[in-house]
Structure 1
Amino acid sequence: MNGGPRLFSILRQGPYLIASIHTALDDSQLVRFQQDLVERIGSDRARGVVIDVAALDVLDSFASRTLRDIGEMARLRGAVTVIVGIQPDVAFAMVELGMDTGRVVTALDLEEGLAELDTYAAAPPAPRR
């Protein structure tokens, strides 16, 4: 990641993190993104995460599984995750191939993703089972 263009960025916006993927990532880069983001949730005490994938025109099974895993890891660390910017062709291919985002919420764009996080932040916590 040193010396070359940034492949992804993680920015803080109040109690939330906004993670943008700027270009297609290979599997090792996706794992690095996952590690960096999960660490930032703790260090920034984030209550929510928006992952922007608008720059991606392909989302393979490893990438979609990694995004689901990030959502679960974030949940276990006390943050809600919203994935935004899934392109129409990517959504079509994901449905055709039987891939999904699991329990991770999706939204059209960053604005709607932040609104989703605000909704979750305003809701009372779900009872523990």
Structure 2
Amino acid sequence: MIIPILRLDNVLLASIQIDLSDTEVLQFQTDVVNKISESDTLGIAIDITALEVVDSFMARVINETASMSRLLGAEVVICGIRPYVAMTLVEMGRDLIAADCAFNLSQGLEMLKNKIQARGDKYLASGDDYAQPDSV
């Protein structure tokens, strides 16, 4: 795993700190999807604060990773998009439509907590690993 994926309760945190080759971006995607499917992950925050450049391929893979994660039941927030990266993505016609975006990791984790709570998963929201969603 070139990018560590940390687990915080039922949320994963992946912080991309280095520029990645196309092969490494695809490996990151595989690692994220596998990590989500191995556990009871309710959300993932992907922090790209350290990246000064996000090319079209990387934007596409991050968007697809977010879509795959959502299909597996995990909410997704992309954190720390720099202004120049945002402008470049828009100019290239690349939106990150499969994920919400947050200014920084702190806001991203709060956003994940709220999204998980809103859909009825009380695990993260209550802070209790053993809490169960309300019965229907």
TM-score (norm 1): 0.88
Paired position in structure 1 for 2:113: 118
For the Cα contact (< 8 Å) 2:64–2:98, is it kept in 1?
Answer: no
Residues 57-106 of structure 1 deviation map (CA, whole Å, 9 limit, x = unaligned) = 11111101101111111011100110001111111111122111013100
Q: Which residue of 2 aligns with 1:35?
A: 30
Task: Find the counterpart in structure 2 of residue 4 from structure 1.
Answer: none
Gaps of 5+ in 2: 121-136
Find out whether 1:60 has 2:43 as its counterpart.
no
Report how many residues are paired. Answer: 120
Letter in structure 2 aligned against 1:9: P
Post-superposition shift, 1:54?
A: 0.8
Structure 1 letter corresponding to 2:72: R
What is the CA-CA distance between 1:44 and the residue it aligns to? 2.4
| Residue 99 of structure 2 is aligned to residue 104 of structure 1 | yes
1:45 aligns to 2:40 (yes or no): yes
1:42 Cα offset (Å): 1.4
> What is the DSSP-based 3-state SS (H/G/I as helix, E as strand, rest coil) of the residue aligned with 1:12?
strand
Aligned to 2:5: 10
Aligned-partner SS, 1:123: helix
Using the TM superposition, give the Cα deviation of residue 124 of structure 1 relative to its aligned residue in structure 2, in angstroms: 3.1
**Please, what is the CA RMSD of the aligned residues?**
1.2
SS of corresponding position for 1:8: coil
Instruction: Report sequence identity in percent.
Output: 39
Moved over 2 A (4+): none
* Residue identity in the other structure for 2:105: L
Name the SS of the counterpart of 2:95 in structure 1.
coil
Query: What secondary structure, in the 3-state scheme, does the structure 1 residue paired with 2:19 have?
Result: coil
